[in-house]
Amino acid sequence: MAKNTSFKGKKPEELVKLLGERREELRTLRFANAGGRTKDASKAGKVRKDIARLLTEQTAQKNAPVNA
């Protein structure tokens, strides 16, 4: 999980890869939580926020002017 990491310098391909990793991590956490064997219950929320940051950066890069 990225902690205090800015995703602004990342290429679109890297963002897609990171997004997939975070979604898989969230899926694993959800299954572990359902099984009752989590160590950090707040980690799922942190991963969700990372996913939101990645999606926000993807959208910002997509909507950025080409010459900027």
pLDDT category of residue 47 using cuts at 50, 70 and 90: very high
Residues 28 and 50: beta-carbon distance below 8 Å: no
The CATH number of the domain holding residue 53 is 1.10.287
Residue 19 belongs to a domain? yes
pTM of the predicted structure, to 2 decimals: 0.80
* Those residues with Cβ within 8 angstroms of residue 22's Cβ, 6 or more apart along the chain or in another chain: 1, 47, 50, 51, 54
Residue 2 belongs to a domain? no
pLDDT category of residue 2 using cuts at 50, 70 and 90: very low
Q: What percent of the chain has pLDDT over 90?
A: 47
Domain of 31, in residue numbers = 12-63
pLDDT, tens only, 5-21: 678 888 999 999 999 99
- Region 62-67 average pLDDT: 81
